[in-house]
Amino acid sequence: MKSMLIISRQAPWTGPYAREALDIALAGGAFDLPLGMLFLDDGVFQLVAAQQPTTLQQKDLTANLQALPLFGVESLYVSARSLQERGLESAALNLAVEVLDDSALTALIDRFDQVLTL
């Protein structure tokens, strides 16, 4: 069975891509596919606690994010550079993720058979 890395690069309030990436991960996890999920660029904003998406008429993704491990998607990663560039610290995130530097990101991507970027 081929492994897949889903790279989520969009903030949760900029359109449907963040939700679609989570939906794909949850569906794949339900079918026991070997999946990993990487939050990169503005995708790191999905992990910030205490968001107020209703002010932008968006749905809250927190429940979907927290369901990932329940669906077997336990390989969760975030870019250290993306966090730093956005003034975020890993302690402020609402999900347990592994923080990776650029060289570790390259190695991570190489480990997966397929890579899907949203």
Check whether 63 has a pLDDT greater than 60: yes
Rounded Cα gap, residues 26 and 11, in angstroms: 18
Cα 80 to Cα 38, 48, 118, distances in angstroms: 11, 14, 19
Q: 75-79 and 35-39 as β-strands: parallel, antiparallel, unpaired?
A: parallel
64 confidence band (pLDDT: 50, 70, 90)? confident
pTM of the predicted protein model: 0.90
Task: Single out the residue of 64, 66, 79 nearest to residue 22, CA to CA.
Answer: 64
pLDDT digits (tens, 9 = 90+) for 86-110: 999 988 898 899 999 999 999 999 9
107 contact partners, CB below 8 Å, separation of at least 6: none
Q: What are phi and psi of 93, to 5 degrees?
A: -85, 150
| Bridge partner list, 105 | none
CA angle centred on 4, ends 21 and 15, rounded to 5°: 15
52 confidence band (pLDDT: 50, 70, 90)? low
